[in-house]
Every structure is written in structure tokens, then in C-alpha cells.
Structure 1
């Protein structure tokens, strides 16, 4: 298969943020001088990628390049299936440049398995490439298969691509040359597999010393060191692993003063980036990414033969990849299971810990606590995100260091996101009082003392039946309940809470679907003048009828709508429907009719509420002077300054305001005077009590008198019998609504009811 035609012109530096295999002109690139040999064999490179540009760019970057005296020949496959067919027919391919993600996210890794297991090709070198850094090779694939290199396309400049391919070709050449030494080769492959099965750099380093000694027929001895460039002191070597008489050096610095010959051999190996034989030592060089190069120094008296040297070179190549992969896996593990800011376990790791605990005998005595910092967002906004980060780190350290069980062992502490921490351990130690006591002492952050408090949600794991993730959800439910009651408090999860939450979620989804299907409708309850019993308006009431005909009470679904935020859309729909009905009533002659519409606190607080009101008035053509919005007394008492400004904006539209359920809250009279409201509505509770309770009568009388003194209209709701109406008339209440006059009516029934009152006004 011939290479695709490369793009015209020479590729230049990638523009913007793209660097997907676009190679810059590199003036200092020093490629070996080509040695042309007529009829020379080629190194066959198979490029496997579903992006044609990658094929063209790769071929262009490496054209006219020779390696080990041979030119490169490119074969191209645009899918894993096509690549397998080529490999089956042409097994003498040296290197496969393989895209990890093609037709499926795991297509590349599946092809790796097929190459090694089904086709049995152990000599071909494989370089994995990906343009999507989030798709990392599976750890099992890295460990279990001989993958030569793994790179993101954005980091493969021309130099790095050449280096990776050259290393792979060299490795392939050596493998082919060592075919006669099959036992040694098999030992290397076995050693590589065994090394890949180990976890952590130290364990792998120990394994390297053992396997290298086995290849040489020696007992394990020597050291494996790492040098990290860019740390200010690049001459310092740290001993990662040691064996034999040098075992005591493990974990220490390799001092040139105390170990001059050993340190010199290690330094020379790193400087030459190649293994040496000198002063009774045999060294191996393991190049690493990010400036971290490793070197193994093994005591060796004698001379390494040509075959042994080649075996050791291949071994070093395998080990270098292994060390890189181990560091990659370590980094991925840290990213996957550790919170990057505090170093504590994250949500994923916490769920694992919970699952393990729930599966063991300790579950009955364990408790999980969520610790939510109160008002952290305000602290973050006021003092800056850097300050907030320092505070989170300090909170994590205090929780980790101060909380211990009865045996003095630290409890598990995690940060699962934002300002929420988790504490997991014995119930006797995970106590709300003990945790909250830690917050009584201020945190000293960046030269300032900061006092914070925390709210807790807790779950007794002995009472929990589900998984770790379920336990975390239950703790979150308890936390929300605690926050709804008071800050700096706590709440334990109970089964009834779980049932309640699940029912709320079920109803939330049903309400959203019902709203879309048109199951919500409005009913209108007439409002009358008590002196004449003549209707002057109506209150629009929201109702929900399910598909099976059953009605869901507003006291059940309206709080759900508010909690979910759906009330904003529903509220706008209600307002438009009610105003449209007002316009229809005016069209049939009821020109003095007023339409009253309830407004939810969530809806009223929405920043676009006033604009939405104006749009509804404009769209329906309803006269604002005959529109009344009802807000609750508790809403009127919260954030007075903001409310006064919002009410002023509403009043400028011409719409009037009534305070619903008046008398149930604790209104400040001075504050009430500042609010631009037009009407007070006596709550039905006091109307019900008016005939049998002196208190009910006195509160109703107080509201009526207050309205008279403040020049506000007053209406009583929930009037159900003539005796209540008579008392209200006696007290001077001018207006009322309730079952005595009419139940809530459909639009058609409302017009019929009004007609029966024979009160159609002349236009």
C-alpha cells in the first residue's frame, strides 16, 4: 500500500492550540546522514489511524530518513480491521504507529491484544498515539503487552517522532538479531511481564535489579538511581532501590564523597545516556520522560559479550518503558483517587473505602459524616480563591490530625468536592460534637484568623443496606436536611428521609412531564364585596390532574416545583394564562374585573421576573391596573432592601401587590409601611378560628384595623359559612373569598357563574 500524497508545502508551527502531529521546522534537528545503498532493505512502518492527515503528516515528517542504514517504507491502515489484515499478510513489519481511539474508544488496545495474542507477533514494536489525552491505555494493557511507547499526538514533534521510531526500529532490529538467542529473549519478555505486574517505582526498581542479575547469572546486587533534571541540583542522585551489600543505600542520596567510584559510573552513564563497563561496575541507562532518567549500577567483574550486551540493551529498552508506565500509572492513580488540592482521598476513593467497610464486620460500628463548611462561598468571594484553597487545606489537615478512634488511630478523611469533607470511622469517634468542636478554634490563614463553622449529615452504616455510593447519597440527604434547619447543626439519615426524597424525585420528574403534556390547568375562585356580595375579581389557582384523572394537591407539587426550579417556567405560564383569561372576561363585558395571581418566592427572586411580567402584559394585552400579584408575608420580610427595590419595579408596570397569608409571619410595622403594597389578605387559619376563638377574632380585627390605618385594602380568604361572613362584615372587612361564595371554577364555569350574578356591566 502506497503512502498518501503529503500536503503541499512544508508543515510549519501549528497555529492556535492545535499540535496534533503538526511538525515545526526545527533548524537544530540533527538526523544521521543517509547512507544510500542500492537495493537495500527497508524498515516497514505501519501507520494505523482513522485520520488521513495523520498518515500524510507522519510520512512527510520521516521521508528521506534512514535508520541503521535502511530507508523507511510506510504502509497505511485506516481501521483496526484493515491493520490486522495487513499484519496477517506481511509479518515483517518493524513498527506499528497505532492510534488508541479509532472506530471505537478501545479499538487500538483490542488490536494490540490481537497482534500479541492471536497473531503471535512479539517482535514488531508498537507505539501508541492518541489525540485525546483522556483516553489513556488500560493499566492491564500496558502491563500485559509489550508496548514500545505511548505518546499524545500533540507532544510528537518531528524530533520526538523520529526518536520514538528510531528507538522502536533499533529495538526491532535487536530482537530480530537475537532470534537465535531465544532463551535469552524469552527471559527478557518474561522479565518485562513480571516487572509490569509490580506496583510503584520502588517495587519495579527492585525487580529490575533482580532481573538484570538473572540475565547475567549473578545474585541481585547494586543500586538503581534516579536523577531529576530542573531541580536546581541535577548532580544529586537518589537511590530508589538497592540490593546486596549496597542495600543500606536504598532511599538515600548517592554521595560522591562516600561512594566515589559508584557515583562516578552512575554520573558518566547518565551523561553518555548509555550503559558502561568501568571500575568493576556494569551500568544500564533507562531514559525517562519529564527529565527523569534512571541508571542501574551492578557489581560485575569480567567482560560482557556481544550477545549479552544486546540482551541488556533490549532489557534496558523494556525497563525504560516499564518505568515510564509505572510513573504514568502512579500519576493516574493519584489523579483518580486523590484530591489534588489537599492530597486527601477523593469521592472515587471514598466510595471504594465505603464498599470495603460495608462488606466487612466493622460496618455495624461505623459512621459516615459529611462536613460542609458554612458560608464558604462568601469567604472565597471576599478573600480570594487562593485564600479559600489555603483554608480548605487547613481544614483537611485539622480533621485528619485531630480525629482519632479509641485506639489512637486516625480516621479516614476525604474531600469529595468544593467545601465538603467526609469523615469515616468508628461511630464512637465520628461524633457531631467532636467534629464541630474542631471549628471553635479559628484557622490561621495567610496572616489572618478565620472563624468558620460546619454543618454535618451523618449515616450509621450498620443501618444502611446499599452500596458505598448509596451511603454517600444518604449522607448528602441528611446534610441537606441539616442545612435546611440551621447552620452549624447536624442530622442523621433515616429510612423515612430516603423514602421522602425518592418520592420527591419521582414527583419532580412526573411534574416536569405533566407540565409538558398539558396536565396543569388553572381554576378561578371568585372574590366578592362583602357589603353587596357582588364579585369584583378572582384568584387564579394552579391545579394538576394526572392522566388517570386523579388530582394532586398544590401543597404537594408546588414545593417540588420550587425546589427543582421548574416553578419559574410554570409561573410564567400561569401568569400568561391568567392574564389571557382576564382579557377574555373583559371581552364579554366584565370590564372592572381584577385577576389575582400567586407568585412563588423562587419565581419572584428570579432576576428576569420583572421582564417576564412586562412580556406577559404585552403579549396578552391585559390592563395592568386590573392585575394583582400575591406574595407571601414571609417573602415580604426577607431581604427588605432587595424586596423594596423589586416591588418598586413591579409597581412601575402598573400592577398591584397583595400580601398573602398575612398574620402568619412576624411583620415589622415600620417595614410594612415602606413596602409598596396595596392589599392585605387575612389567612384562612384566622378566618376558621373567627367563630370559636377570641384569638382568631382579635388577629382578624387587628389586620383589618391595620389595613385601615395604612390605607390598604383587606380581603379574607377561606370564608366557608355565613356566620364567618357576618363577623367579618361586623369587624369592617370589605372583601372575601371562599366556598361560601364559590369553589374554584373552570374558565367556562366562571363566566357562567358571573352571568348568574347578573352583573354584566355596560361597556
Structure 2
């Protein structure tokens, strides 16, 4: 339980009184290197009972260069000062040892006092200039007082250098935590740096732990995120679960009061601007060093700035890698998960799960309800699939799942949606389409794996909506082919390799030309033709159909103007318009603008649409058709009989013509069903007062049957293939010559 704020003033003991200071910190080790036993004894007697900085001296004895090296190798970090004789087994043994200490062992903080009984072997000035030593004395002049003075200066210098090195390590950890790491790992590393820095400041060993309370402004149970030394086992525990009541109460009081406490257990509290607190406690049972409170304030201010930066970095990481709606990893975060999975596993599956008709849910209800649906789906995925897989929200209504093959299976994903999902206490039935890819079928990064799964998902939505499809190399080949074709189409459009051909429409009774249909053609760089049924769907899905469609309309009207100027005043130009292009808000205005700029009377232009245009939003379609007819443009329904619209919808559309699809014309003389369907279409058209055009007419028998049904106009190879403009003029001239 937390104590009152007043109780904080009465704290006198926060840790056990047992002396836990390491043995190496109870005394100063002094290494004596000399081949004369009397020197060792004289030095020990001279320094007996001497204390420096409150600690006695302990002597380590070496009688040769080799013995000294062995001692330094085993205890180099605990020796602050060495008294070294210049001349031992060799005249330069002491100097060789100095070079070994500095160059090979790298002991830059060890203080070296060189002693000699024979100054001529190593002149004092020259030796000091050449070797990295701290003092040089002749044995005869080194009295007890001078020896004590030299040791005091040496040990103090050593102590200062060691503290500077400790401070440097602490700051390096803080800088590393705030600049190179992120998330909780960054915060934990930052906490390690804070412990090291506090211990350096207080001149104590690194025994401490750090607690954080309040994340993103919301108070939570204090969590120990870092521990060093004897507190290493505290990391990962809640503060309330710590068994040491004294320590727990001490830090709880500091957090509540947001104040620092100095004592056997020193606690510093760092508070960020959003009221998140970081509390660091270090063990200071022998901390007698007086620290200026202004130094502590400056230190805390510096650490707090670093703490703010770490928290900010954590927020940025969360925004970059987490989905705010479901709290699942977003696409960026899920790609990281995939890469981590690939680095550790060779088997497994990735699935992309796309909710069917989710856009209709948003449209029929509202976005807030749609958000509730997504949260409910995320909850279902977490509940059913559990901890055996990793999840992410890849896009609006698409979720990613990766894990072992036995946990990521098509049947499991299907089963997720067998039962209704409860949204706002109401059951909602949903289905999902999913694409799967095995780690053994794909290679590369998480991005590549997602790409392959997405290929399978898109194909499943085209072929098997509501079910799953597993990725194969054939699917990738097809997808690559579509991408290459789309790239080629863009290039063809910009480099003017697209062109129009025109197929005549004639009356079957007397062969009179009454119209032309403008047909888009693509000739690639090698001169080969790409069929329209291959590239038009790609253009529609990519949005490229809009600029292409506008270009087709303008070129067709320009050519129509040329036909009219040549005297063909009974010729209408039919232009096919994609349902994507037709639904563009400014389509009617574009038509009016093109007619005005080309000078073509509207009565000569005919817009051809397929039945698919009437599948959705009939009111908008009817309104737009009426606007076109008000311009004077006629409307034809292409490929009639092959679409999805009902007769009840078609009867409401303001149409002028019906075009009978070639699939019914082809089998007129050999297939009774085709003949009956064609007959019904003609009867329906006449009943609705529409002109009828038969497509794909190739034989005299077909013409005879169609005329008997009452169809008047035809187009097809029997009369002419689609012709480019120059060829069409020659075709017209030839017909005029035949007529005369």
C-alpha cells in the first residue's frame, strides 16, 4: 500500500543493512613490481595503516616482469596504481612492462609510478617524455611522505578517470536508446542507460532497477522494465508483485510524490509532459559522496528530455506499425512480422482474408458501424486462431494471418465465418474470400510473400468468391503477364500505337450504309495486334480507360466530321463507352464539349453501352442517359442478351437501339435455341419501339433469317471487316461505283 506524502520524510532505511559492497571496493590494490624482496617489505612497512579516500591499501607482489604480466592479466580492472622498478632481470624490464600495460592491455587509467635505484639506465626526463607514466622517482629519494603523496595523487587520478569512463558508458546507452532503438525495447535500453548514469553519478556499482507507470497518459500498474546487478531478476514484474516490501513502498512513495529520494536506496523520478513517470532506484548503501542538488536537477532534466524523446519515438513507431482501429499490426508492421517469421521458420502459410461486400455494409449503414464490424472480425480472428499465428490488418477490410501450416488452413478460415459475428449485440452473417501462399512456394521478403498471397486473393475474388485459393507459380505468371500488358498499354497510348477501325452498319434490305462503329485497336511495337477483350478489362481496372475513352470519343468525332464533309450525311458514328467511363461525373459535359469542338451535330453520334452499366444505381444511369438524349445523342445497348440486367430494369432505360450479340447470330441456321433467343430479342425490341442491329453477320442464311424476324440493320464480315479510315473511304468509293 502507498503511504501518505508525509511518510516520505520519515524514510531512513530502504534496503537490508547487510554490507553488499564488492571486496574490490573495500581497499585499493597496489601492485609492487621489483626483484628486490627488501623493497617489497620496505614499501609495505612504509604504507602500513595508510588509508586513501577512506580505504586501506592491499599489496600485490611481483618479482619479475613475467609475474607482473600474469597479475595484470588476471586482475587488471581492480588495480589503480603500480609501483614498477626499471631494472630487474633485464635492464629495461620495467620499461617493457610499461609498454605492455599501455599498448597490449590497453590500461589507460592505471597509474604507473616508475622507481629506480640506478637512474643512469633510464634518465628521468627522457623516460617521462618517451613512456606514458604518471611519476618517476629514485628509490633513495622516495621517503614515506613522498611515497604516500604519490599514491594519493595517483589513486585520485585513477578514480576520476574511472568515473569519467563510467559516465561515458551511461551516456552512450542513453543516446543509443533514444536514437537507434524503438518501442518497449528502446525504453528498456534507455532504462539501462539511466541506471548506469545514476550509478556513475553516485560513484556506486551498477545495482538498480527502473519502473514505468502510465503509458500514453493512462495510468497503469507500475512495471519494472529494467534491472541490473542484484536487481536483474526484477525486470518484467509488476511493482505490486515484488517480495521486498521496503523497496516496493519506497518506490511507490517516490512515484506518488514525483520526488527524488537519496539514501541507502536512492530513487530518481523522471516525469514526462503527458504524466508518464520513469522511476529508477539504485542500491547506495555506502554512498557518502556529497552531490550538489543543482547537479542532480540538471541530470534529471537531461534524462527527462531523453525520456520524452523515447516516448515520442514509441508513439511514432505505433503510428507507423499499428492499426489504430483494431490494435493489430498494420501492413508495415505485418511485413516486419513476416520477415521475422521467415528468418526463423522454413514451413508455414500466409493468408490474406478479404471480407466480401464490406463496401456495401458501409454504404447501407455507416462508417462507424463498419468500424465496429472490423473490430468484431479482428476479435473473432484472435479468439479462434489464438497465439499459434500472427495477425495484421493489411488494408480496409483485408486481414493477414501467418503461422504454421496446420494453423493456417483454408477450412479454418472458412469456419471462422460459419457462425454469425456479433456486432453491437446483433448477429451479422459475413463471408470472406482468401488467398493462401506457402512459404515453400514463395521466396524473398515479406513484401514478396504478401504480393503472392494477394495474387491468389484477387484470382479467388474473380473465380471463387467466398472461398479460398492457394497461390501457384501459374498465377504469378498470369499476374506478371497482366502487369506487362498494362505497362505496354500505357506505353502504346502515350506513343500513339492505339488507333480506331470502323465497321460499317448497313440495311439488310438494300445494303445502304447507315452507320459506323468505332472500334479501338492496339498494334504493339512488333506489329502484332492485341485483342480488345484482353486489354480493355485491364484498362477498366486500372482507371486508364478514362483517358483512353476520352481520346476514342474525340478521334471518332473528328473522323465523323470528315465523313460528313465528304457527303455521307446518313452515317452515324457509334462509340463504345465503358461503364467505368460512363460513371465519371463529368461524362455528359465531356461529350458536349467534344461535339462542340469538332462541329459534329449530336444526332450523328451514338453512344454504345453494355448491360453491365445498369447493374447498380439505376436512377443515376437513367438520369445520365436522359441528359445525353437531351443533347440529341442516341443510345444503343450493346451485346444484348448476355448481361445481368433484368427486363424490368431495361424497360426503364431511355434507349434507341438494341444490338443482338454475335453469339446468337452465329448459330441461327443450326441451333434452335439461338434462333429462338434472337427472335425473342427482336420481338422485345419492336415492342419497346427500338431499332435492332445484328452483330457478327457473316452468311446470306443469317441475313435471310434475321430479315424474316424483322431485324433491319446488320454489321459483320459479310459486309466488311473493321477498316481504318483510308481503307473505309476506298470501300465507300467501291460501293458507289458498284451502285452506278
Same fold flag (TM > 0.5): yes
State the shift of 1:520 in Å. 1.5
- The question of 1:554 aligning with 2:532 is answered yes
- The question of 1:189 aligning with 2:189 is answered no
Q: What is the 5 A alignment of 1:253-652?
A: 253=239, 263=249, 267=253, 275-278=260-263, 280-286=264-270, 288-302=272-286, 304-306=288-290, 320=304, 323-363=307-347, 366-381=348-363, 383-404=365-386, 409-485=387-463, 487-636=465-614, 639-652=617-630
Structure 1 CA distance, aligned partners of 2:247 and 2:650? 90
Question: What's the secondary structure of 1:515's corresponding residue?
Answer: helix
Structure 1 CA distance, aligned partners of 2:206 and 2:458? 59
Segment drifting more, 473-482 vs 380-389: 380-389
Question: What's the secondary structure of 2:165's corresponding residue?
Answer: helix
Structure 1 CA distance, aligned partners of 2:623 and 2:251? 79
Q: Deviations over 1:183-218 (max 9, x none)?
A: 211111123335666735456546655675577676
Question: What's the secondary structure of 1:711's corresponding residue?
Answer: coil
State the shift of 1:721 in Å. 2.9
Determine the structure 2 residue equivalent to 1:84: none
Query: 8 Å contact 1:682–1:714 — kept in the other structure?
Result: yes
Q: What is the 5 A alignment of 1:96-135?
A: none
State the shift of 1:600 in Å. 1.4
Counterparts in 2 of 1:269 and 1:345: CA distance versus 1, 3 Å: closer
Structure 1 CA distance, aligned partners of 2:215 and 2:707? 91
Question: What's the secondary structure of 1:462's corresponding residue?
Answer: coil
Q: Deviations over 1:478-506 (max 9, x none)?
A: 22222234543322222222222222222
Q: What is the 5 A alignment of 1:726-741?
A: 726-741=704-719
Question: What's the secondary structure of 1:705's corresponding residue?
Answer: helix
Structure 2 CA distance, aligned partners of 1:261 and 1:667? 77
- Structure 1 length normalisation: TM-score? 0.67
Q: Deviations over 1:370-405 (max 9, x none)?
A: 11223333434555444433332332222122115x
Counterparts in 2 of 1:254 and 1:530: CA distance versus 1, 3 Å: closer
Q: What is the 5 A alignment of 1:239-258?
A: 244=230, 251-253=237-239
Determine the structure 2 residue equivalent to 1:44: none
Structure 2 CA distance, aligned partners of 1:239 and 1:360? 29
Structure 1 CA distance, aligned partners of 2:642 and 2:370? 40
Structure 1 CA distance, aligned partners of 2:333 and 2:219? 36
Query: 8 Å contact 1:400–1:410 — kept in the other structure?
Result: no
Counterparts in 2 of 1:327 and 1:475: CA distance versus 1, 3 Å: same
Structure 2 CA distance, aligned partners of 1:230 and 1:338? 15
Between the two proteins, the alignment pairs up a number of residues equal to 576
Counterparts in 2 of 1:428 and 1:757: CA distance versus 1, 3 Å: same
Largest Rg, 1 or 2: 2
Q: What is the 5 A alignment of 1:16-165?
A: none
Question: What's the secondary structure of 2:440's corresponding residue?
Answer: helix
Structure 1 CA distance, aligned partners of 2:196 and 2:311? 20
State the shift of 1:351 in Å. 1.9
Question: What's the secondary structure of 1:537's corresponding residue?
Answer: strand
Determine the structure 1 residue equivalent to 2:29: none
Question: What's the secondary structure of 1:582's corresponding residue?
Answer: helix
Counterparts in 2 of 1:428 and 1:329: CA distance versus 1, 3 Å: same
Q: Deviations over 1:136-164 (max 9, x none)?
A: xxxxxxxxxxxxxxxxxxxxxxxxxxxxx
Structure 1 CA distance, aligned partners of 2:549 and 2:474? 31
Query: 8 Å contact 2:209–2:282 — kept in the other structure?
Result: yes
Counterparts in 2 of 1:347 and 1:592: CA distance versus 1, 3 Å: same
Q: Deviations over 1:266-304 (max 9, x none)?
A: 74698585x5544x4444454545333434344544552
Structure 2 CA distance, aligned partners of 1:355 and 1:183? 43
Query: 8 Å contact 1:185–1:311 — kept in the other structure?
Result: no
Unmatched 5+ residue regions in structure 2? 1-155, 178-184
Query: 8 Å contact 1:265–1:276 — kept in the other structure?
Result: no
Determine the structure 2 residue equivalent to 1:688: 666
State the shift of 1:424 in Å. 1.0
Counterparts in 2 of 1:211 and 1:578: CA distance versus 1, 3 Å: closer
Query: 8 Å contact 2:500–2:724 — kept in the other structure?
Result: yes
Determine the structure 1 residue equivalent to 2:69: none
Counterparts in 2 of 1:719 and 1:446: CA distance versus 1, 3 Å: closer
Q: Deviations over 1:320-374 (max 9, x none)?
A: 56545544454444344332332222222322332343455532xx221111223
Question: What's the secondary structure of 1:691's corresponding residue?
Answer: coil
Query: 8 Å contact 1:270–1:285 — kept in the other structure?
Result: no
Q: Deviations over 1:5-63 (max 9, x none)?
A: xxxxxxxxxxxxxxxxxxxxxxxxxxxxxxxxxxxxxxxxxxxxxxxxxxxxxxxxxxx
